[in-house]
Chain A
C-alpha cells in the first residue's frame, strides 16, 4: 500500500479543476441557502444551462466562445426568473419543489431525441473548448510538485476556474457585508419582519436567486470546458446534493465555507477511493468483501459516515459559528 500515491491523489483532486468548479457552484448555492434561506434543490439546472449555453453555441452553431458564454449566462438568468416568478411569493417549500423538478425536466429535455439537433441528445457535444485552450499561455508539459502533476491543459483550466472562484468569493464577501447583504440575511431569519420594515422581500429574493444561479452557470461552463464535452446525464440531481454537502461541510453562510468544503470534499472522496484501491491491490481487503468496481459506491458510504459524524460533533460546519447555530434552535 503506497501512502504517497494515496495522499498525492487526494491533494491533486482537492485542488484540481473539478474541486474549483464545485466550489464555484457551491458559492452560488451558499448565497441562496446560506444567506437568503432559499431552498434551491436544482443548482445543477443552472450548471446545465450554462454548460449547454457554451457547448451548443460553439459546437452546434459555430459561434465564438465569448458569445456562448453570454448565452450561457443569459439562460441562467431566464431560468432563475422562470423559477422565481411563480414561487418566491409563496413559502420556501415551493421553490424547493420547483427547482428539483426543473433540474430533472431540463436534463431529460436536453437528452431527448427532439432536442438532439441542438444538444446532441444522449451523445452530448464535444469540440467547443478549442478556443479556450488556444489562448492558454502555458507551454505543453506537465506541471506540479511531488507526485501531484497536472497536464498543461488541466493547469490552465484549474487556474481559470480558481480565479473565477476567487472573484466570486470577493463579490459575495462585499455583498453580504453591505446593506444589501443585511437585507438578505434578515430575510433568511424572518421574511415578515423585513416586509414590515419597508423592504420588498420578493425583489431581494429574486436578485439573490438570479445572482446565485449565474454563478452556478459559470461553474457549469467551466465543468464543460474542463471535460471538453457535455453530456446531460452528468447533470443529475446528485450534483446538487454534493453541493449541499460541500456547503454544510464548509459552513453555510460563510464566505469561505464553500471553498474549504469543496477542497475537503474532493480530497476526502479521492482519499477513500485511492486508499481502498491500494488496500485491495495490496491484499489487505479481500476482493470478496469489496471488489474494485464497488469502490466507487463504498467511498460515498464513507463520506456519508463522515457527514453523520460532522452533524454530531460540528453541526455548524468547519467554518460556522456554534453560537450562531444554537440560536437557530430557540
Chain B
C-alpha cells in the first residue's frame, strides 16, 4: 500500500495527507433522482484510487461532473489547490486533469499517430492563422511526433502508427486512449472502466501501464467493476452506493466493510423478509 495512506482511519470522507482533488458537497440530480451526493472526498496525490460501487451508484456521473462533462447542481471542488468548480472540460484538461471514457473515443478516421499528436497541448499550429504558416510550427510538430512515437512504443502500438485508429481492436483502442491521455502531460488521469471489454491477457498489460503511471508520479483514479483488478492495483478504494460515498479505505479493509457488502447485495441481506414486515 501507498505509504502516505497507511494508518488513516477508513471512514467516508477521511482527510488525506496530500490531497490533489478535494470534493465538497457535490450534488447532481436528474429530475427527482439524486445521482450523486458526495459530502466530502479527497483523492491522494500520487496514489491509485479505485472507485467502486454497484450499477447506478453514480460513479460515472461523478466522473463526468468532476471532469467538466456534466454540471453539478451544488457543491465545490478543487484541483491541485485551485478552485475548479464548474470549469469546462478543456480548461480542466489543460490544468492537468485528463479523463478517458467508458466507451472508448478513438478518432476513427485519423491515424493512430494523429490521435496522439492531437493531444499535445500548447501547439502553435493550432491557431488558425499560424496553421497557414508551417515554418511557425514544424519544429514543434517534430518534437511532438517524437514524444508520440515513444509513447506508442511503450504501449506496443508502434506497428499501427500510420493506420486509421478505426481499424484498431477494442483492446488496442483502450491502449491508444490511455497513451493519448499521456500526451496531455496530465497530473491526474481519470479512467472510466479501463478494463471493460478487454481480454484477460491485455488486462495484465493495461494494469502494468496503470501502475507505471503512478510510479512516474501521476495520480490515477479509476472506475472498475472487476474486483480482482481493484484489489490488485489500488492503494485506496472508495465505494459509492446510491450516489453517496458509503465507505473508503485500503482494498482489504473495504472488501470486509459491511457497508460495501450491503451496497452490493442490498440491505438486510442477512435478515430475509424484513421488507415485507410492515405489510
Contacts and interface: CB of A to CB of B under 8 A. Distances in A.
- Co-complex (A, B): yes
Interface of A: 171, 174-175, 178-183, 185-186, 188-190, 192-201, 207, 211, 323-324, 327-328, 330
Interface string B18-41: 000000000000000000000000
Interface in B227-278: none
B142 interface: no
A201 B183 CA distance: 18
A196 B70 CA distance: 12
A178 B105 contact: no
Contact of A178 (B93, B132, B180): B132
Interface string B81-108: 0000000111101100011110001111
B141 interface: yes
A178 B126 CA distance: 7
B164 interface: yes
Nearest to A191: B105
Contact of A199 (B98, B108, B126, B164): B126
Contacts of B114: 182, 185-186
A178 B89 contact: no
A189 B108 contact: yes
A195 B181 CA distance: 12
B53 to A, nearest CB: 22
A327 B108 contact: yes
Q: Which of B106, B110, B121 has the most CB of A within 10 A?
A: B110
B52 interface: no
Interface of B: 67-69, 88-91, 93-94, 98-101, 105-110, 114-115, 117-119, 121, 123-128, 130-132, 134, 137, 141, 164, 166-167, 180-181, 183-184
Q: Which of B100, B124, B126, B137 has the most CB of A within 10 A?
A: B126
A180 B107 contact: no
A179 B90 CA distance: 17
A198 B132 contact: no
Given A179-B141, A201-B90, A193 B125 contact: no
B90 A181 contact: no
Contacts of B166: 327-328, 330
B256 to A, nearest CB: 36
Q: Which of B106, B117, B132 has the most CB of A within 10 A?
A: B132
Contacts of B68: 195
B89 A328 contact: no
Nearest to A171: B132
Contacts of A195: 68-69, 88-90, 93
A179 B119 contact: no
B93 A189 contact: no
Contacts of A194: 107, 118
A175 B131 contact: yes
Given A189-B109, A327-B108, A327-B166, A197 B93 contact: yes
B131 A180 contact: yes
